Structure 1
């Protein structure tokens, strides 16, 4: 400086703009550290108070989560960082007696009218704010925002996905009027709709639909059958590897094996066949995961398809009773009106969500794979 004073290096300093630390750019790491510390401090103070359970949740949602919400879409959070903050919240709640150690995690985040506790998850909150910011910028008529939107927002991977990748091609063409090819990016044989991606694409049928989703639903049932009849199984259903044939003095279980009959039958391969030796009873268990709007019709078709096989099994194996158990879970989680009836006939104590979970996880994997294909 003219008077001999030395100006401090700007790179070693920082300033706040609307509460966000900046120099030549946003100081993401420092801001994330500050936000996490302040969030944890507020959650801890709330839990130390003498509020009742409902007011504790409300206070965390309004007082603590708002700290993270403010910088959402500006501060670059990773999925792991947000998940860790949610885990930290649950640990603190357990430490201070606001949450039982073995309480259901999903219920904690469900709305109160659905039977949950209505805690606002940090990860969900940030994603909702990012989506809202994206919609606002894309709909804005301000010239400066329009220019920034095109050059920067679409370069951001999250915003790019929400505007381009996640919106199905059929929706973009028919609803938004974009001049694009709306055929499926995997098979190219049909319009790319939600129903087509998750349940109708022939190129996804044998591997993704079967191995990633259908077989996992069937695996849960097989795992519970092994538990019921005393066969060896793994601790968790997702590590369970079904044997083709399991047999004891009381029961025989077949996994995905064709049943040889005197008469040639088109439908002779149930996913699971259970033969109860003492009662002379046979169950043909056949799970499926069609699109949700078709589960009722497909369930009826499945029962009709196995009518001839039922007759042949009763005759050849001298069974007193042969019954088809169609366990249908929609690709997006719906179940049929007779679902509980079929589950009760299995007598395995399986709740609907135990089969919905692997189905939905499989659908999510399929969608992620498809949307990665440009």
Structure 2
């Protein structure tokens, strides 16, 4: 369930934040002790008041002393509202203590030089954190599979040559075993190896395009398969008022290198044309890339097409899918099938 090289703190974080959602016994004991002390300290029951005085008189291992100790460890500031009942005070204090404890766990996870890389990347402003961790909240994977995925993406402990050379120090050559050009890291294997580009990377790219083509066909009420993975895009798909081209070269009056967008949508009803070109990237690879760089590849097509060949208005859309996180700007406009994205 937990890979030997995986991060332990991540086990106890909520799944909505990228953790495994397990209960940490240590934190549970601390919050229960703090809640019990606040209940005894505010109760009006004379028998429980006697218990509280007895605990205060102990020299060691008293609820009072342990509660003070745990509150300092959690940086917990307790504010007592006399209008609340002792039970409500204890429940509210326990909830606050648990929140502070999880906050410390998350902070420790993010500060780790290796395990914290994924946490720092997933918390960027352009990443949809909810969509990134959605797969953790849906059942279906075995515990071993889930643990291996989390370890591979979050902890980067896969047995790459870079890991062998710089972590295990076993004298291995850190260069990629396929291309022998760059350091073999997970990011390089996922989206940077020139040898894997024509095979594995292209197949992954086409699978993403297959889903996007299926959603677009449904958007324009074109009959398709019920499941996206059974859908096989045709080079030309005709609808009532639309023509969808898949990986189809665009004829131009002069030679243009970038003349083959992944998907072209000719919307005759709204007199529009959309050029869609997809990218499947690693976040760190494009962190410093100039926004709109892909769009420049198709400027020549826009300028070369006469109005009677295509349609009056042409828009370029570049959905991007990150391998290790989700970019909200790349995801929401087209895949969701939002009507305004096709007509505005």
TM-score, normalised with respect to structure 1: 0.48
2:304 matches 1:335: no
Alpha-carbon shift at residue 341 of structure 1 (Å): 6.4
User: In structure 1, the residue corresponding to 2:168 is in which secondary structure?
Assistant: coil
Alpha-carbon shift at residue 246 of structure 1 (Å): 1.1
2:225 matches 1:256: no
Give distance in 1, aligned partners of 2:264 and 2:141: 45
Q: Which residue pairs with 1:320 in the alignment? A: 312
Alpha-carbon distance change, 116 to 208 in structure 1, aligned in 2, over 3 angstroms: closer
2:269 matches 1:278: yes
Give distance in 1, aligned partners of 2:332 and 2:274: 14
| 8 Å contact kept, 2:215–2:337 | no
Alpha-carbon shift at residue 242 of structure 1 (Å): 0.4
Give distance in 2, aligned partners of 1:206 and 1:262: 29
Unaligned runs of 5+ in 1: 1-59, 63-109, 133-164, 351-374
Alpha-carbon distance change, 349 to 202 in structure 1, aligned in 2, over 3 angstroms: farther
Q: Which residue pairs with 1:154 in the alignment? A: none
Give distance in 1, aligned partners of 2:136 and 2:163: 35
The structure with higher relative contact order (CA 8 Å, sep 6+) is 2
Give distance in 2, aligned partners of 1:189 and 1:228: 43
Q: Which residue pairs with 2:294 in the alignment? A: 302
- Could you report, residue by residue, the CA deviation over 1:64-101 in whole angstroms, capped at 9, with x for unpaired residues? xxxxxxxxxxxxxxxxxxxxxxxxxxxxxxxxxxxxxx
Alpha-carbon distance change, 291 to 298 in structure 1, aligned in 2, over 3 angstroms: farther
Q: State the aligned residue count.
A: 209
| 8 Å contact kept, 2:267–2:273 | yes
| Runs of 4+ that moved beyond 4 A | 114-123, 125-129
User: In structure 2, the residue corresponding to 1:178 is in which secondary structure?
Assistant: coil
Alpha-carbon distance change, 118 to 262 in structure 1, aligned in 2, over 3 angstroms: closer
TM-score, normalised with respect to structure 2: 0.52
Q: What does residue range 84-163 of structure 1 map to in structure 2 within 5 Å? A: 123-124=142-143
| Aligned with 1:171 (options 163, 186, 198) | 163
| 8 Å contact kept, 1:245–1:255 | yes
Q: Which residue pairs with 1:241 in the alignment? A: 232
Alpha-carbon shift at residue 314 of structure 1 (Å): 5.2
Unaligned runs of 5+ in 2: 1-21, 25-128, 152-156
Q: Which residue pairs with 2:182 in the alignment? A: 190
Give distance in 2, aligned partners of 1:318 and 1:264: 17
| 8 Å contact kept, 1:198–1:291 | yes
Give distance in 1, aligned partners of 2:138 and 2:272: 48
| Aligned with 2:192 (options 196, 200, 218) | 200
RMSD of equivalent CA atoms? 4.0
Give distance in 1, aligned partners of 2:248 and 2:146: 45
Which structure shows the higher helix fraction? 1
| 8 Å contact kept, 2:280–2:323 | yes
Alpha-carbon distance change, 122 to 231 in structure 1, aligned in 2, over 3 angstroms: closer
Alpha-carbon shift at residue 347 of structure 1 (Å): 2.8
